[in-house]
Amino acid sequence: MLLTAFLMGFVGSLHCAGMCGPLILAVPVVADTRASFLASRLLYNLGRIGIYALLGLFFGLIGQSLVLIGFQRWLSIATGVAMLLYLLLTFSSFKNPLRKGPLWIKSLFRDFLHKRSYSSVFALGAVNGLLPCGLVYMAGTASIAYGNAILSILYMIAFGLGTLPMLIGIALAGNRVIALKKLNVRVLMPIAVSLVAALLIVRGLSLGIPYLSPSSSPDGLKCPACAQ
């Protein structure tokens, strides 16, 4: 599952490259040195992934609560279906209210853009992690399927690490990233999310397939007798 999180982040970042490229390039640099440039970009992404980890804790506590009340068996299926529904709404004419972030988040982002310190760059990345992003929402939804807060945190960290190569690459490429807008990579993101959703659904069906869809008892616990 952690591998799927990394791959979803990596493939999804191809979609983000053309849209968020100018935003990444606008991240301030503390000093006019190569080392400062790299340090500021790493701190920016560290702040962003840190927020993803906190979101993983939030979603993980939801999943953990559902497990405690007896919904573990259907949690993975429901999560996969929810991801597919969100994906369908995202690419339809439906106006998603979550696409518009709160004004205070946008105001914070603008404020930190004009500050040149390592702490402000880190904070800028953290605020960026709070900006509306359908891909982050779907990764968070997928992390619920673990039914465990710690594993959900690790899932979101793996997702964030998957986005790191592309976003660091954008920072190093500079204005050449604009060429990515000409590439038809938008189709890759829904394909990656659909595959993760399908894996979650298959996993929840308990088809007796080792690792992919292991058998489980009605209460969601693995049956010791079936493993013999």
pLDDT computed for residue 104 by the predictor: 66
Range(s) of the domain holding residue 96:
2-227
pTM of the model: 0.79
Share of the chain above pLDDT 70, in %: 76
Is the pLDDT at 157 greater than 90? The verdict is yes
Our count of domains for the chain comes to 1
Per-residue pLDDT at 158 exceeds 90: yes
Of the given ranges (125-139, 143-157, 204-218), which has the lowest mean pLDDT?
A: 204-218
pLDDT of residue 81: 92
Confidence (pLDDT) at 186: 62
Predicted pLDDT of residue 209: 77
pLDDT for 112 equals 76
For the chain, the three-class secondary structure string (H helix, E strand, C coil) is CHHHHHHHHHHHHHHHHHHHHHHHHCCCCCCCCHHHHHHHHHHHHHHHHHHHHHHHHHHHHHHHHHHHCCCHHHHHHHHHHHHHHHHHHHCCCCCCHHHCCCHHHHHHHHHHHCCCCHHHHHHHHHHHHHCCCHHHHHHHHHHHCCCCHHHHHHHHHHHHHHHHHHHHHHHHHHHHHHHHHHCCCCCHHHHHHHHHHHHHHHHHCCCCECCCECCCCCCCCCCHHHHC
Name the more confident of 214 and 7: 7
pLDDT at 220: 44
The 10s digit of each residue's pLDDT in 25-55 is 778 888 888 888 888 889 999 999 999 999 9
Model confidence pLDDT, tens digit, residues 66-122: 888 877 778 888 999 988 988 888 766 555 555 555 666 767 777 777 788 888 889
